[in-house]
C-alpha cells in the first residue's frame, strides 16, 4: 500500500530549482527516503523529468560503503551528470554517513564541500536526507550560509494515518494513540508485528546509533534509562539534575545532571524527542529549566514502556504538540503568573500553565489540552490560565472526541481533538 504524503511532495516542489540544497530531516524510519526516492521521484517523472536526469544514492546501503568517502562520492555523482544542460536532480540519502576517513589526505573534504560543489553546477538541484540534527540543522547556517533549506519530515499525522487505517475516525484515533504513525508500523499486519517493529527500532537502531555516534562510554544502559524516564514523564517538567538521581538509582552508577542533559540533547538531536521551553506570558521572556519533552511518535513512546503506561490525557497532549510542530508553528509552554490570597489572607503569587503557546507570525494562539471536562469545576480549572493571560489572543480548549468548535461567554473556543487534527483552519 502506498502512503500518500502530498503535503511534503508539495513542500519539495515549492523549493524545486531555487538554487539551495534541500535538506530533508527527521527521525530514522519516518519515511524520508520513501518521500524522496519514491513519491518525489514519481512526481518529477510526471513532470517530464527523464530517469537519467535523476542521480541518486542511498548511503545506508551496504553497496554504497565506498561512496561514504566524500571525495569518492563527489566523483561518482559528477560522472553521472548529463551534459545536455537540462535540469538534473541529485538525491543523497543519509548524508551524515558521508565522512572523511581519519587518514584522509589533506585538505580534508567533507560532505558540505561536496554539496557546495554540486550547487555550483548549472542546472543541478540537490536533495539530501539526514537523521541527525546536530549535523544538518545546527551546522547548516555555518556551512551553507543561506544556501540550504530544511524540510522536516514527521511520522504520519492523524490526517495521514486515517485514510491508511481503513477505520472510522474514533476507532482510528484510539489506535493512533496506541501505535502512533511510524509508516512501517502502520502497515504491519497485526499488533504483534507492530510491537516487535517498534521495539526493534529503539533498541537496534536508535539507541545503537546514538551510542556509536557520540562514542558513549557505557553500553547505552544509562541512555536507555534516560529514555525510559522521559517516556514515562512525557509532557512533564523535566530537570536533568533531579533526573540524574533516578538514573543513578536505576543503574547503580553515579551520573551528573550535566551528563543527563547531554544524553537528552542526543535524543533531541536524533529527532526522538522535542523540547518545549517555558514562556512567561505576562513577562514576555523565556524561563530556564525545567523544560518539557515530547516523544516524536506515540507508538515509540508506548512500546518503550511495554504499553504499561497508556495515559490517554498525556498521549493526546503529545499528539497535539506534534501536530502543531508538523504544521510548522513555533510552540512553547505558557506560564501565567497571578496574585491571590492564602488561607490567612496574605497575598501570594501563583503560577499556572497554558499547555501550548502557538506562534503564528505576528500573533499567538493559546491552547489547553483537556481530555475530559465532566463538570464546571473542571472547566474552571482548565481555563484558569487562559482567562488570566492578560491579553486578547485566541484561546482554544481541545477535548477528546469529535465535537465541532463552539465558543463560550469568555471567547474561549472548545473543540474535539479529531476535528482539530483534521481541519487546520480551526487554529487560524
What is the per-residue pLDDT across 104-162, written as a single tens digit (0 to 9) for each? Answer: 788 888 888 999 999 999 999 999 998 876 555 555 555 666 788 889 999 999 999 99
Q: Which helix (H) or strand (E) holds 137?
A: none
How many other C-beta atoms can be found within 10 angstroms of the C-beta atom of residue 364?
23
pLDDT in tens, 357-412: 999 888 899 999 999 999 999 999 999 999 999 999 999 999 999 999 999 999 99
Nearest C-alpha neighbor of 394 from the set 426, 355, 369, 416:
426
Compute the distance between CA of residue 11 and CA of residue 126 in angstroms, rounded to an integer: 15
Q: Give the residue carrying C-alpha cell 554504497.
A: 64
Say whether pLDDT at 7 is over 70: yes
pLDDT in tens, 156-186: 999 999 999 999 999 999 999 999 999 999 9
Lowest mean pLDDT among 16-25, 106-115, 258-267: 106-115
Contacts of 251 (CB under 8 A, 6+ apart): 221, 222, 225
DSSP 8-state class, residue 36: I
Compute the distance between CA of residue 365 and CA of residue 405 in angstroms, rounded to an integer: 15
The CATH architecture one would assign to domain 6-152 is: 3-Layer(aba) Sandwich (3.40)
What separation, in Å, do the N-terminal and C-terminal C-alpha atoms of the chain show? 33
Write out the three cell numbers for 117.
560543489
pLDDT at 90: 98
Bridge partner residues of 286 (DSSP):
279
Task: Identify the residue with better confidence: 209 or 43.
Answer: 43
Compute the distance between CA of residue 74 and CA of residue 135 in angstroms, rounded to an integer: 19
pLDDT at 145: 64
Lowest mean pLDDT among 31-35, 145-149, 178-182, 188-192: 145-149
Nearest C-alpha neighbor of 298 from the set 96, 158, 193, 399:
158
The answer to whether the CB of 96 falls within 8 A of the CB of 131 is yes
Percent of the chain with pLDDT over 90: 74
Name the burial class of residue 80, with classes exposed (0-12), middle (13-18) and buried (19+) by CB atoms within 10 angstroms of its CB.
Answer: middle
Alpha carbon 47 to chain centroid distance? 30
pLDDT at 346: 80
Alpha carbon 279 to chain centroid distance? 20
What value does the mean pLDDT of the chain take?
92
Nearest C-alpha neighbor of 266 from the set 240, 304, 235, 287:
240
Bridge partner residues of 54 (DSSP):
89
> What own/partner pairs with CB < 8 Å and gap ≥ 24 does 241-250 have?
247/222, 250/225
The answer to whether the CB of 329 falls within 8 A of the CB of 366 is no
Compute the distance between CA of residue 18 and CA of residue 271 in angstroms, rounded to an integer: 26
Q: Could you tell me the CA-to-CA distances from 407 to 235, 355, 397 in Å, in that order? A: 27, 19, 10
Percent of the chain with pLDDT over 70: 97
> What own/partner pairs with CB < 8 Å and gap ≥ 24 does 57-63 have?
57/91, 57/92, 57/93, 58/33, 58/93, 58/94, 59/92, 59/93, 59/94, 59/95, 59/97, 59/98, 60/93, 60/94, 60/97
Q: Residue 69 — very low, low, confident or very high, per pLDDT cuts 50/70/90?
A: very high
Amino acid at each position: 500500500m502506498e502512503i500518500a504524503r502530498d503535503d511534503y511532495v508539495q513542500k519539495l516542489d515549492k523549493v524545486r530549482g531555487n538554487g539551495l540544497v534541500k535538506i530533508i530531516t527527521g527521525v530514522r524510519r519516518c519515511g524520508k527516503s520513501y518521500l524522496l526516492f519514491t513519491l518525489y521521484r514519481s512526481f518529477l517523472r510526471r513532470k517530464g523529468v527523464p530517469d537519467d536526469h535523476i542521480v541518486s544514492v542511498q548511503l545506508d546501503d551496504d553497496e554504497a560503503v565506498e561512496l561514504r568517502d566524500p571525495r569518492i562520492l563527489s566523483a561518482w555523482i559528477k560522472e553521472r551528470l548529463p551534459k545536455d544542460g537540462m535540469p538534473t536532480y541529485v538525491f543523497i540519502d543519509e548524508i551524515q554517513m558521508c565522512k572523511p576517513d581519519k587518514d584522509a589526505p589533506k585538505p580534508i573534504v567533507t560532505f558540505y564541500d561536496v554539496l557546495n560543489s554540486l550547487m555550483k553546477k548549472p542546472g543541478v538541484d540537490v536533495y539530501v536526507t539526514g537523521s541527525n540534527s546536530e549535523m544538518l540543522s545546527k551546522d547548516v547556517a555555518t556551512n551553507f550560509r543561506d544556501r540550504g533549506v530544511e524540510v522536516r519530515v514527521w511520522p504520519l499525522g492523524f490526517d495521514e494515518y486515517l485514510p491508511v487505517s481503513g477505520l472510522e475516525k474514533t476507532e482510528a484515533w484510539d489506535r493512533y494513540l496506541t501505535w502512533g504513525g511510524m509508516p512501517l508500523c502502520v502497515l504491519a499486519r497485526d499488533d504483534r508485528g507492530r510491537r516487535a517493529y517498534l521495539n526493534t527500532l529503539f533498541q537496534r537502531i536508535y539507541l545503537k546509533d546514538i551510542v556509536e555516534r557520540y562514542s558513549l562510554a557505557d553500553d547505552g544502559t544509562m541512555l536507555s534509562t534516560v529514555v525510559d524516564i522521559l517516556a514515562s514523564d512525557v509532557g512533564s517538567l523535566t530537570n536533568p539534575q533531579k533526573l540524574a538521581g533516578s538514573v543513578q538509582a536505576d543503574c547503580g552508577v553515579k551520573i551528573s545532571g550535566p551528563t543527563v542533559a547531554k544524553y537528552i540533547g542526543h535524543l533531541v538531536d536524533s529527532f526522538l524527542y522535542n523540547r518545549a521551553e517555558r514562556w512567561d506570558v505576562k513577562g514576555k521572556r523565556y524561563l530556564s529549566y525545567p523544560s518539557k519533552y515530547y516523544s516524536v511518535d506515540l507508538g515509540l513512546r508506548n512500546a518503550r514502556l511495554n504499553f504499561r503506561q497508556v495515559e490517554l490525557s498525556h498521549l493526546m497532549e503529545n499528539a497535539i504538540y506534534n501536530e502543531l510542530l508538523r504544521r510548522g508553528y513555533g510552540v512553547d509552554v505558557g506560564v501565567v503568573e497571578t496574585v491571590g490570597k492564602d488561607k490567612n489572607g496574605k497575598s501570594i503569587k501563583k503560577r499556572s500553565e497554558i499547555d501550548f503557546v502557538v506562534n503564528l507570525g505576528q500573533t499567538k494562539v493559546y491552547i489547553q489540552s483537556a481530555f475530559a471536562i465532566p463538570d464546571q469545576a473542571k472547566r474552571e480549572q482548565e481555563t484558569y490560565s487562559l482567562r488570566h493571560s492578560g491579553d486578547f489572543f485566541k484561546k482554544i480548549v481541545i477535548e477528546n472526541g469529535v465535537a465541532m468548535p463552539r465558543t463560550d461567554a469568555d471567547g474561549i473556543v472548545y473543540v474535539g481533538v479529531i476535528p482539530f487534527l483534521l481541519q487546520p483552519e480551526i487554529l487560524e
